[in-house]
Amino acid sequence: MIPLTFYLGLAALLFSIGLYGVMTNKNGIRMIMCIELMLNSANLNLVAFSSYTDTLNGQVFAIFSIALAAAEAAVGFAIFMAIYRMHDKINLDELNILRW
């Protein structure tokens, strides 16, 4: 059996990649992809823990969070769509009317 730490390490790595991507990317679609990566790394954690602690809460939680991630992406894309109609691109660096 693969040790638990391997799963945790993979999840932590994916989470860090996602967080790095959100902080450095300027394109809205890529940002949503990175956020999905962060959410899915948490799901990986939940399922791994669920299997190693012999409780089912984690798997149930993972199913809920997959559904929520889909809903979140839908709302996010709707907002980006509206921005795209107005600016013809989704470069988040150029949205800077509101500051200080």
Partner 1 sequence: MENLMFLAPELAVVATGLIVLLIGVFMSPQTKNMLGYLATLGVLAALALTIQSFGTEATMFFGTLSIDALSQFFKLVFLAVSLIVSLASIKYNENSDHTEEFYSLVLFATFGMMVVASANDLILLFCAFELASLATFALAGFEKRNARSLEGAMKYFIIGAISSALMLFGISYVYGATGTTSIPMIAENATLLAENPIGLVAVVLLIAGFGFKMALVPFHMWAPDAYQGSPSVVSSLLAAGSKKMGFVAAFRVFIVALAALQPDWQLAFTILAVVTMTFGNVVAVSQTSVKRMLAYSSLAQAGYIAMAFVVMTPMALTGGIFYTLAHAFMKAGAFIAAGAVVWMITSQKTGNLDIPDHLDSFRGLGKRMPLAALCMTVFVFALAGIPPTAGFMAKLVLFSSTIQAGMTWLAVIAILNSALSLFYYARLVRYMYFLPPEGKKIGMPFPYAAALLLAVAGVLAMGIWPEPFMQWAMDAAQVLI
Contact status: 83 vs partner 1 (CB under 8 A): yes
Greatest CA separation for the chain: 54
Rounded Cα distance between 41 and 17, Å, is 10
Q: In Å, how far are 69, 70, 77 from 66, measured between CA atoms?
A: 5, 6, 17
Rounded Cα distance between 18 and 45, Å, is 15
x/- mask, partner 1, residues 18-47, rule CB under 8 A, reads xx--x-----x--xx--x--xx-xx--xx-
| Residues found near partner 1 in the complex (CB under 8 A) | 8, 11, 15, 18-19, 22, 28, 31-32, 35, 38-39, 41-42, 45-46, 48-49, 52-53, 55, 57-58, 60-61, 64-65, 68, 71-72, 75-76, 78-80, 82-83, 86, 92, 95-100
